[in-house]
Structure formats: structure tokens, C-alpha cells
Amino acid sequence: MNQRSSVWIVVGVVVAGLPLLLLLTLVLLSPSDGTTATSSVGGKTTGVPEQYQRAVETAGAVCSEISGPLIAAQINAESGWNPTAQSGVGAEGISQFMPATWASVGRDGDGDSKADVWNATDAIVTQGYYMCQLAAQVKADIATGKVRGDVSALTLAAYNAGLGSVEAAGGIPAFPETSNYVTTILAAAGGYTAGGGTAVTGDVGGAISWAEGIAADNTNAYVWGGNGRQDGGYDCSGLTQAFMARLGVTLPRTAAEQQQEGHQITAEQAQPGDLIFYGDPAYHVAIYIGNGRMVSADNEQDGINTEAVYGSPSGYRRYR
């Protein structure tokens, strides 16, 4: 559930089939240093109904703060995996989005050009992106001292009670229902194990974290023809080639050659780990990391950056 009153939050928890008496006995135990309580991202999450496996995998690879197991535990608490669930206050679908929230964040998760809250794939993928948006805001609040606590716990609280309530409280709001919601999901996430990916070798989330680390380390320069530290850095296609190698995918060296591999997808279908191309034949390529952002080795002046997708890409391609 997201952004509703604390009274109705209890109703949502009961609808999910969790014993209220048990919830009220839980104590919120989460680190206070801003680290995440669940760090596995990408890959297959065991314990998830098979028909939702791919959607949970996608949602868990959007950002490093929100894992597949966390998404799975949250869905179980929200709806018990029921795609037709509807709460008394009007929350809808498997991820229990309020209509107003869905209107602003709903995404097409299955490529049918429609964002439908009653479509489980759309809802779960949107859940991943929305949770990552909240996580980014929470991290910014932690950095400025506005809130204190664990990123995952605070993000769950924001999904449940609204970011404004978290910011006003400086942490987990003093609503028993919200504390119980957070604690229950964090505890349950341990029951879902993130394993290897189903289509490629390696971990998409880990590979994205690697690429973001390259961008964050200014000793990695943009170097024309560069293939890594031994050359002082990377150019665009050298970076994407190294990124895909971490996923067990071998790509040719230039952007134009990489554009001929894999298969074309639309911008709306893009998932973390896909590549973004500029020009045809391509003169530039970057790594899509979700939420409208990419890691890109831009040029000698700007270097290697994590940034919003800019300009007008000529296409997106998937290799898994």
C-alpha cells in the first residue's frame, strides 16, 4: 500500500493475511547507518510464483537498494500475490497502488503499450521503479540529515505511509501499523533467496553497481579506444562491452557492431541492463540502469557519468 492513513494501513495488513496479534509483537530492528538491510538485486528470486518470477526479477534490478526478495516480501504483505486484490480504502492490484499514485507512476511492464494496475507484470515492475524513486529521495534525506535510519526500512515506510510522513518524523513514523509493516517485510525478505539470473550468467544488479562505480571513480577517464584501467579508462563501447561481459554476454568492440547484436526493444520496454544507442549506424552506446538513467562514457571533456538519458536515442537493445 502507499500513501494512505494509518487506520487503513492496518486493514491492508489484515487483508494480506498476516496475523495482527503477531504483527503487534514485532520490534523494529534495523541499522541506523544508512546501509541497506537487503542487498541482493537481479537474478531469480526463489519462493516467487512462477508467473511473477520475471516481473520480480526486473523490479529487483532497478536499483541496488531494492532487491528481488524485498519486492517479493512486500507483495506477499500487500496482497498475498492476488492480482485482483482491492482494499477497503481503494488500493488496487497485486502491489496495492492507490489510483492517484498509479496515475503518476504507473508503467507498462510487459510491452503491450498499456500501464494497467490490474496487470500483475505492470504493477510489479512499477513497484520496483517507484520503490527506487522513494529510495533515492530517502538517501538524499539521509545525506542532509533530514532523516535517520536504514534505506530499505525508510523506503518501505514511505511506500506505506508516504514520504512526507517519514520526513516529518525524521525516520520511521510513530504509527504502529507502519513499524509493523516495515519489520514484517524486512523479516520475510530473508525467506526469498536471490539466485543467479535465468537468462544470462551473472547478476544484473551487481554489473550495474560495477558500472556506477566506474562512473563515480574519477580516475577512470574517457579514453578513445580504452578498455579499462590498463588504458586509463574506457570509451563508450569499451564500457558496454566490459559491462555485458560481466553478464556472460560477448559483444563486438564498436557501438555500430554492438547495435547489430541482441534484439531491438522500445524505450518503454527498456529494463536495467539493456543498452541505449545513438545514431544508425551507432556512434554512441550507453548502459540503461532504470528510472530514466544510464551510465555513459560520454567524451573526453565530460568523462564517464551516471546521468539521465539525454537527447533522442535511436534505439534500445536487449542481449538476454
Give pLDDT, residue 230.
87
For 148, counting Cβ atoms within 10 Å of its Cβ (0-12 exposed, 13-18 middle, 19+ buried), the class is middle
Give pLDDT, residue 64.
80
HSE-up of 311 (CA within 13 Å, CB side)?
13
Three-state DSSP at 216 gives helix
Three-state DSSP at 214 gives helix
Give pLDDT, residue 42.
44
Give pLDDT, residue 26.
29
Alpha carbon distances (Å) from 31 to 34, 73, 136, 172, 192: 7, 19, 18, 12, 20
Give the largest Cα separation in the chain, rounded. Answer: 62
Per-residue tens of pLDDT for the chain, all 320 residues:
554 433 333 333 333 333 333 232 322 323 333 333 333 334 567 788 889 988 998 898 888 888 888 999 999 999 999 999 999 999 999 999 999 999 999 999 988 899 999 999 999 999 999 999 999 999 999 999 999 988 888 999 999 999 999 999 999 999 989 988 988 888 777 677 654 333 323 467 778 878 888 888 888 899 999 999 889 999 999 999 999 988 888 999 999 999 999 999 999 888 889 999 999 999 999 999 887 899 999 999 999 999 999 999 999 999 87
For 26, counting Cβ atoms within 10 Å of its Cβ (0-12 exposed, 13-18 middle, 19+ buried), the class is middle
136 in Cβ contact with 63 (< 8 Å): yes
Q: Which of 78, 92, 177, 212 is catalytic?
A: 78
Q: How far is residue 222's CA from residue 302's CA, in Å, rounded to a whole number?
A: 8
In this structure, what C-alpha cell is assigned to residue 22?
503477531
Give pLDDT, residue 198.
30
CB within 8 A of 249, min separation 6: which ones? 200, 319, 320
- For residue 222, give the DSSP letter: E
Structure-derived torsion over alpha carbons of residues 266, 267, 270, 275, reported in degrees to the nearest 10: 90
Identify the residue whose cell numbers are 506477499: 76
Give pLDDT, residue 213.
85
Give pLDDT, residue 289.
87
Three-state DSSP at 18 gives coil
Phi, psi (deg, nearest 5) at residue 184: -60, -45
Give pLDDT, residue 44.
65
Sign of CA dihedral 100, 67, 179, 124: positive
Reply yes or no on whether 78 is catalytic. Answer: yes
CB within 8 A of 97, min separation 6: which ones? 2, 91, 105, 106, 117, 123, 126, 127
220 in Cβ contact with 213 (< 8 Å): no
261 in Cβ contact with 251 (< 8 Å): yes
Give pLDDT, residue 111.
87
pTM: 0.52
CB within 8 A of 103, min separation 6: which ones? none
